[in-house]
Amino acid sequence: MSAQKIGVFTCHCGGNISDYVDVQKVCDAAAGTEGCALAKTFLFACSDSSQEEMMEAIRTHQLDGVVIASCSPKLHLETFRVMAHRAGLNPHMYTQVNIREQCSWAHRHDMPKASEKAVRLVRAGIARASLSRPLENIRVETLPAVLVIGAGPAGMRAALALSDLGLTVYVVERAAEVGGRIRALGKLFPSGRPGREIVARLRDQIAGRDNIVVYTNAELVEKSGSAGRFAVKVRAGQETISLKVGAIIAATGFAPYAPQPEEFGFGLPAVVTLPEFNELLTTSRECLRVNGRDVRTIAYVYCVGSRQSEGNQYCSRYCCTAAVHAAIQAHEIDPELNQFHLYRDMRAYGRNELIYEEARQKGSLFLRYDGGEPPTVEREGDGLLVRVRDELSGGDSIEIPADLVVLVTGMVATSNQRLLDVLKLPLSAGGFFNEIHPKLRPVETVIDGVFIAGAAQAPKNLAESVASSMAAAANCSAMLLKGHLDRAPLVAKVSAETCVWCGECVKVCPYAGAIVEVERDGKQVADVVPELCKGCGACAAVCPSAAIELEGYTNAQVTAMIDALAAEVVS
Amino acid sequence: MSAEGATARDPRILVFSTTGISDPGIDLAGSAHMNYPPGVTVIGIPCSSGVRPDWLVHAIEKGFDGVFVAADGGDCALVPDCTARTAWAMERAQQMLSERGMDPRRLKMGAICSVCAEPFVNHMKQFGDTLRKL
Ligand SMILES: Cc1cc2nc3c(=O)[nH]c(=O)nc-3n(C[C@H](O)[C@H](O)[C@H](O)COP(=O)(O)OP(=O)(O)OC[C@H]3O[C@@H](n4cnc5c(N)ncnc54)[C@H](O)[C@@H]3O)c2cc1C
């Protein structure tokens, strides 16, 4: 079954490879290696004409394996797998050897040694190919439905987008009402539209869809299956509902930072958090009153609960702009107010800069404090006294008698242990959900089919939360609208003959249910459930009898590659 | 490293690296033309915790001067605690080397992330220096 007639194609990559590696020498060495039936060089292996020529060669020489020595597999592994497939060869009989990034470009100072290394790499590739077997991708039929956890703006907006695409959506909200944190908020930057209006609009739109079902007072309590086909259980009130979905979006949002007692005077009357101040603004007309007193002077302390040297080290992103936006509203209620902003760095980024500018024009004063020397807030008489060392005026100590102190509180992760136990999502240092790759795969998680959106991932403002929820919706539909999912079958496999069912593999397997105990020929052995196995190889590394190994990285393959790489190259 | 860096004494190092995280870091070293000795060759595997201790020993027995296992250092998409698991495999392999009368310092592990081009090159240089002294 393994490859006996391997075609080995070495690429010049223009001169990217051949300027530093003797490509002809590599080709000749390949030709002399056992298993190689045909060796050729190409100026650009990835060009259409080269691919045509290779496909022709595969057919005429009836090649059963192909090795291409060219660039990093990150670039063209998929290209050449598809090429092999078009020529009638199983794509997993193709092996890519990287002689560009990991050879020619890294050893430009020594062409003879680089060429020798390329020969060894190609021989290792041939060794691997000759031990490869044709494999079928694991195909999973997918279900056209999505579970959205959390009905904040991110979750609601994702539900609508998924519904637009024709997918059924189940929304699970822990609270009694939908809308998340903005439900209680007044005017929001940048547009000034009140949060409750935005929520009402989203709620009405959702009510008009017959393919969205919303459960409130509800939580996800169980999840099984894998990407494309999850079975989940939702507890809504007293009821437990079983649902089948193809993908899951976790949009569980954030919690406002709750200051410690006495942190910047927290606990004193008239020391409030930003959400509390926001509420005061929505209920005030003509003047602000706190504890029965008119407010004449407000001091804002920024970065409360954010950018801590220990604890929450991150910046909460939304709060600088939310605070200056609140100050503008306060000014609109009472233009006579004195407003002092004690900040560390003003992060009203992008167009939010204009909101910051407007606050300044309306008379807000900004004083900059050093994170190592924060302001203090004390009670004085009926009011409050704020002390700050202002860096902008050369470090002057300034005392501000204030009627109201607003702690500009950041965002923290919601406490969601039960959900984490069900979803098994990794968390970032700050306790938010972690994506696979912050730049390239920003809403995917290590759990295939589970996506994250909104402020559950990291502090985000509304626009950012909704943008990421759109990305998550697009990812779900890209996965589900095709109707099936193909995965590379490089998963663990067990040799029932050698397995003695010691259970070591199950102990180290990170994926629940991926390794099961079965009976084969009257004895108990391990077996792998390919749909649940991710192909990490943790089981293979610990198996005392080497009975379990990873497809594509079997003991025979890796050992043969080591032998080929260790062998001397005689020039 | 001098332009004539590769001398006959250049140690031969086999690197096990992860295809998802460390390989891109090592690729980057090449793309950035950071030369490192051609005695260094890489085998890609999905996760460093999948490395079998006997592979490491086999490589030394076959003539590699050292084996370096590039771990993802917390970035792994497959196994969150793979670094600790890999450390176990390293210890096991080092023990096996000692039992066979070989120096356990021939095996080394280090974190190489997807942009760790410079750390990789430095690791290779330092590990090469260590191996030269054994
Ligand atoms: C005081 C304040 C002012 C702000 N002002 C602005 C502004 O002016 N402009 C702006 O752009 N942004 C502003 N923001 C930020 C804005 O609130 C967030 O960006 C937005 O709410 C994030 O939406 P979300 O859907 O991701 O999360 P959330 O709004 O937090 O919604 C998450 C939802 O998930 C639910 N949930 C949590 N856990 C579970 C679970 N286990 N199961 C089921 N459901 C669960 C929660 O009950 C909640 O309904 C402000 C924030 C604060 C605190």
Q: Which residues of A touch B48 (CB under 8 A)?
A: none
Chain A CB within 8 Å of residue B49 CB: yes
Contact A375, A264 (CB under 8 A): yes
CA distance A120 to chain B (A): 9
In order of A389, A520, A542, B39, the CA distances from A343 in angstroms are 11, 69, 54, 54
Kind of pairing between the strands at A94-98 and A65-70: parallel
Whose CA is closest to B66, among B91, B89, B39? B39
- Do the Cβ atoms of A426 and B58 come within 8 Å? no
Distance from CA of A88 to the nearest CA of B (A): 26
Residue with the smallest CA separation from ligand 1 atom 13 is A461
- The residue count for chain B: 134
Of A114-128, A550-564, B74-88, B91-105, the one with minimum mean pLDDT is: B74-88
Rounded to the nearest integer, the mean pLDDT of chain B is 89
**Integer Cα distance of A351 and A236 in angstroms:** 42
CA B119 to centroid of chain Cα atoms: 12
Q: Which residues in chain B have Cβ-Cβ distances shorter than 8 Å to A563?
A: 62
Cis-peptide into A426, omega within 30 deg: no
Amino acid at the residue A29: A
Contact list, A557 vs chain B (CB under 8 Å): none
Pairing of strands A36-42, A404-409: unpaired
Is A102 in contact with B27 (CB distance < 8 Å)? yes
Q: Which atom of ligand 1 is nearest to the CA of A189?
A: 8
Residue numbers in A near B39 (CB within 8 A): 113, 117
Q: How confident is the model at residue A116 (pLDDT cuts 50, 70, 90)?
A: very high
ipTM tops 0.85: yes
Q: How many CB atoms neighbour CB A428 within 10 A?
A: 14
CA-to-CA distance for A493 and A472, rounded, in angstroms?
A: 33
Q: Picking from A127-141, A258-272, B68-82, which range would have the lowest pLDDT averaged per residue?
A: B68-82
Q: What angle do CA A142, A147, A152 make, to 5 degrees?
A: 150
Beta pairing partners, A366: A341
pLDDT of A453-472, one tens digit each? Answer: 999 999 999 999 999 999 99
Which residue in A105, A121, A550 is closest to B30 by CB distance?
A105
Which pTM value belongs to this model? Answer: 0.72
- pLDDT higher than threshold 80 for residue A424: no
Half-sphere exposure of A160 (CA within 13 A, CB side): 17
Closest partner CB to B30 (pick from A102, A565, A566):
A102
Instruction: Please state the rounded mean pLDDT for residues A489-508.
Output: 94
Of the candidates B3, B19, B46, the beta carbon closest to that of A109 is on B3
Cβ neighbourhood burial of A342 (10 Å; 0-12, 13-18, 19+): buried
Residue B6's pLDDT band (boundaries 50, 70, 90)? very low
CA of A226 to the centre of ligand 1 (A): 28
Q: The CATH number of the domain where B57 resides is what?
A: 3.40.50
Torsion, Cα A556 A559 A560 A564, to 10 degrees, reads 170
- Mean pLDDT throughout A194-217? 98
Predicted local confidence at residue A12, as pLDDT? 98
Answer yes or no: are the C-beta atoms of A333 and A284 closer than 8 Å.
yes
| Shortest-distance atom of ligand 1 to CA A454 | 26
Does an H or E element contain A452, and which? Answer: strand A450-452
| Cross-chain residue pair B27–A98, CB shorter than 8 Å | yes
Q: How many residues are given for chain A?
A: 571
Round to whole Å and give the CA distance between A274 and A295: 16
pLDDT digits (tens, 9 = 90+) for A325-352: 999 999 999 999 999 999 999 999 999 9
Secondary structure string (H, E, C) spanning A26-78: HHHHHHCCCCEEEEEEECCCCCHHHHHHHHHHHHHCCCCEEEEEECCHHHHHH
Sheet order of strands, B66-71 included = B40-45, B13-18, B66-71, B107-111
The gap between the terminal CA atoms of chain B, to the nearest Å, is: 20
> Greater confidence, B134 or A271?
A271
What is the b/e burial string over A224-245, where b = at least 16 CB atoms within 10 angstroms of the residue's CB?
ebbbbbbebebbeeeeeeebeb
Cα A297 to averaged position of ligand 1 atoms, centre (Å): 29
Does B82 have pLDDT greater than 90?
A: no
Confidence at residue B74, expressed as pLDDT on a 0 to 100 scale:
65
Write out chain B residues lying below 8 Å of A555, CB-based.
Answer: 52, 55
Closest alpha carbon within chain A to B13? A566
C-beta atoms of B6 and A117 within 8 A: no
Residues 6+ apart with CB under 8 A from B8: none
What pLDDT shows up at residue A447? 76
Question: What percent of chain A is modeled with pLDDT above 90?
Answer: 88
The pLDDT value recorded for residue A226 is: 78
pLDDT averaged over every residue in chain A: 95
- Determine the Cα–Cα distance for residues B121 and A102; give it in Å rounded to an integer: 12
Residue B7 predicted with pLDDT over 60: no
Report the distance separating Cα A86 and Cα A97, nearest Å: 20
**What value does the mean pLDDT take over residues B54-76?**
91
**Nearest Cβ partner for A537 among B3, B29, B46:** B46
- How much distance in Å is there from the Cα of A455 to the middle of ligand 1? 7
Q: Which residue of B has its CA nearest to A114?
A: B38
Our mutation pick for probing the ligand 1 site, out of A189, A279, A318, A418, counting the most ligand atoms within 8 A of Cβ, is A318
* B23 inside 8 A of chain A by CB: yes
**Tokens 């005689």, residue?**
A570
What's the token pair of residue A486? 């193909």
Asked whether residue B2 carries a pLDDT value surpassing 50, the answer given is no
Q: How far is the CA of A466 from the centre of ligand 1 (A)?
A: 11
Grade residue A153 by pLDDT with cuts at 50, 70 and 90: very high
- Provide the pLDDT confidence category of residue B4 given band limits of 50, 70 and 90: very low
pLDDT bin (cut points 50, 70, 90) of residue A571 is low
Q: Which residue has the higher pLDDT, A425 or A43?
A: A43
Q: For residue B62, give Cα distances in angstroms to A322, A490, A549, B14.
A: 64, 27, 22, 11
- CB within 6 Å of ligand 1 — which residues? A 149-155, 172-175, 180-182, 185, 188-189, 219, 251-254, 256, 274-275, 278, 318, 322, 325, 414, 416, 419, 454-456, 460-463, 465
Q: Which residues of A touch B62 (CB under 8 A)?
A: 562-563, 566
> Up-side HSE of residue A530: CA atoms within 13 Å toward CB?
16
Domains by residue range for chain A, with CATH: 6-136 (3.40.50), 145-253+414-485 (3.50.50.60), 256-411 (3.50.50.60), 492-550 (3.30.70.20)
Say what the pLDDT of residue B15 is: 98
Please check whether residue B69 touches A, CB under 8 A.
Answer: no
The secondary element (H helix, E strand) that includes residue A539 is helix A538-542
Residue A182 CA to residue A194 CA, distance in Å, equals: 8
Write down the pLDDT at residue A75.
86
Contact A531, A561 (CB under 8 A): no
pLDDT at residue A3 in the model: 67
- A278 CA closest ligand 1 atom index: 1
Say which of A105, A538, A546 has its CB closest to residue B50.
Answer: A538
Which member of A72, A117, A561 has the closest CB to residue B27? A72
Q: Which residue of A has its CA nearest to B85?
A: A538
Q: A541: which chain B residues are within 8 Å (Cβ-Cβ)?
A: 49-53, 85, 89
Please say whether the beta carbons of A295 and A255 come within 8 A.
Answer: no
CA distance A101 to chain B (A): 5
- Residue pLDDT, tens place only, A275-289: 999 999 999 998 999
- Please give the distance, rounded to the nearest whole angstrom, from the Cα atom of residue A416 to the centre of ligand 1: 14
User: Alpha-carbon distance B41 to B67, whole Å?
Assistant: 10
Q: Are A454 and A462 in contact (CB under 8 A)?
A: no
Q: Do B52 and A555 touch (CB under 8 A)?
A: yes
Domain extent at residue B129: 3-133
Q: How many structural domains compose chain B?
A: 1
pLDDT at B1 over 60: no
CB contacts < 8 A (A, B): 140
Query: In A, which residues are within 8 Å of B12 by CB distance?
Result: 566
Type and span of the H or E element at A213: strand A212-215
Nearest Cα to Cα of residue B102 among B56, B70, B71, B69: B56
Tell me if A107 and B6 make a contact (CB, 8 A cut-off): yes
